[in-house]
A and B are shown apart, each in its own frame.
Chain A
Amino acid sequence: MAAWGRSNRQSADEAKERLKLVLIHDRTDLSEDELSIMKNELLAVISRHVEIDPEMVKISMSHDGREQKLTADIPLKTARRRKIG
């Protein structure tokens, strides 16, 4: 596709998607990089206590009105029981 060609997506949709992300970071003062560092630190702490699959973890920003929320979805590995003690 040519650099200046029209993409399939309408430009307003692109504007909206880009703005969504920008506003989250503006409101929380957290960059994409910082968010990923935080995610790794969180995973490290959690893995010390329970077994998790880092691939399955979803940590994301969402919002409720103008309030920002950090949402973490962290499935625990329960199939193999952790050894006690």
Chain B
Amino acid sequence: MAASVVTITSGKGGVGKTTTSANLAVALAEDGFKVVCIDGDIGLRNLDVVLGLENRIVYDLVDVVENRCRIRQAMIRDKRLEELYLIPAAQTRDKSAISPSDMVRVCDELRNEVDYIIIDSPAGIERGFRNTIAPADLILVVTNPEVSAVRDADRIIGLVEAEEKGPAKLIINRVNPGLTKRGDMLTPEDVVELLAIELIGVIPDDENVVISTNRGQPIALDPKSKTGQAFKNISKRIQGQSVPFMQLDEKGDFLAKVAGLFRQGGD
């Protein structure tokens, strides 16, 4: 089977791309797929610490591109999940060390070896963004339900369309059901209406994300976590399954309405 390349991007920084990349990779690997995640944020390496694999780095993506090692040597195998690997970013170089065609070449080399390649993008619309979308089969845009993140997501969605890499799908991260219910946070429906693209995931704002990140244990590894489940649901939807959007708030019903919206808009 030839791998699917899934790129996780955003316009605004800090909205949760790296968190999402780590958790989707974990969720797909838990479902038995062979997954390689690539940290595309050259110079600001982070996916290694979020996955808890920072102590085992020998080679990185730039070493692969510059032929200092083979791809296999740069693939760090996860301790917890047999079929999960990370190719870390270089920390001492910048985005210009890699070109879009380098990324395409690296992914093509991996395509016959694995099931999914998950690429974590840097923030912004510069070279790093173009590098990470170049090999993508599917682009997931992460945003938060607030004005600047939504505005920047719109810009990225437009750029993805212009590059003929669309349609991108949307992940709304850090939804606070209390604020939403009070009318002080854009609802997932509002965001979907504004951006007019298909929704693939809604993730609650959850302090356990911070705690699990402190430990290098992505929350999708915790079988009891609802937030972990939200990431697992995205992984199922990537696999082509239709999973209803879960109820994040015992009393609230806005997510049930989003589920309806998704089914209408979905294929």
When distances are taken between beta carbons in the complex, the residues of chain A under 8 Å from B109 are none
- Least distance between B135 CB and chain A CB atoms (Å): 24
The answer on a CB contact under 8 Å between A12 and B186 is yes
The answer on a CB contact under 8 Å between A12 and B157 is no
The answer on a CB contact under 8 Å between A22 and B151 is yes
When distances are taken between beta carbons in the complex, the residues of chain A under 8 Å from B185 are 12
When distances are taken between beta carbons in the complex, the residues of chain A under 8 Å from B196 are 63, 65-66
Q: How far is the CA of A11 from the CA of B179 in the complex (A)?
A: 10
Task: Give the residue name and chain of the A residue nearest to B194 (CB).
Answer: A19
Residue pairs across A and B with CB atoms within 8 Å: the count is 46
The answer on a CB contact under 8 Å between A12 and B151 is no
The answer on a CB contact under 8 Å between B147 and A18 is yes
Q: Which of A2-33 contact B (CB under 8 A)?
A: 10-13, 15-16, 18-20, 22-23, 26-27
Q: Which of A13, A18, A20, A66 contacts B183 (CB 8 A)?
A: A13
Answer whether A23 and B194 are a contact pair too, CB < 8 Å, given A10-B184, A15-B146. yes
Q: Which of A28-82 contact B (CB under 8 A)?
A: 63, 65-66
The answer on a CB contact under 8 Å between B154 and A27 is yes
When distances are taken between beta carbons in the complex, the residues of chain B under 8 Å from A66 are 157-158, 161, 195-197
When distances are taken between beta carbons in the complex, the residues of chain A under 8 Å from B197 are 66
Q: How far is the CA of A27 from the CA of B183 in the complex (A)?
A: 27
Task: Give the residue name and chain of the B residue nearest to A9 (CB).
Answer: B183
Q: Which of B181-220 contact A (CB under 8 A)?
A: 182-187, 190, 194-197
Q: How far is the CA of A63 from the CA of B146 in the complex (A)?
A: 21
Q: Which of A12, A23, A27, A65 contacts B187 (CB 8 A)?
A: A12
Answer whether A23 and B154 are a contact pair too, CB < 8 Å, given A63-B196, A66-B196. yes
Q: How far is the CA of A18 from the CA of B267 in the complex (A)?
A: 30
Q: Which of B155, B157, B158, B186 contacts A15 (CB 8 A)?
A: B186
**B119 at interface by CB-CB < 8 Å:** no
The answer on a CB contact under 8 Å between A16 and B151 is no
The answer on a CB contact under 8 Å between B184 and A19 is no
Q: How far is the CA of A16 from the CA of B154 in the complex (A)?
A: 13
Q: Which of B154, B155, B161, B180 contacts A12 (CB 8 A)?
A: B180
- Least distance between B175 CB and chain A CB atoms (Å): 12
**B6 at interface by CB-CB < 8 Å:** no
The answer on a CB contact under 8 Å between A16 and B186 is yes
**B150 at interface by CB-CB < 8 Å:** yes
When distances are taken between beta carbons in the complex, the residues of chain A under 8 Å from B180 are 12
22 CB < 8 A contacts A-B: A10-B182, A10-B183, A10-B184, A12-B183, A12-B184, A12-B185, A15-B146, A15-B186, A16-B186, A16-B190, A18-B147, A19-B147, A19-B186, A22-B147, A23-B151, A23-B194, A26-B154, A26-B158, A63-B196, A66-B158, A66-B161, A66-B197
List the 3 shortest-distance A-B pairs measured between CB atoms, nearest first: A10-B183, A66-B196, A65-B196
With A11-B183, A26-B158, A63-B196 given, can you name 18 additional A-B contacts, CB distance below 8 Å?
A10-B183, A11-B184, A12-B180, A12-B183, A13-B183, A15-B146, A15-B186, A15-B190, A16-B186, A16-B190, A16-B194, A20-B194, A22-B147, A22-B151, A26-B151, A26-B154, A27-B154, A66-B196
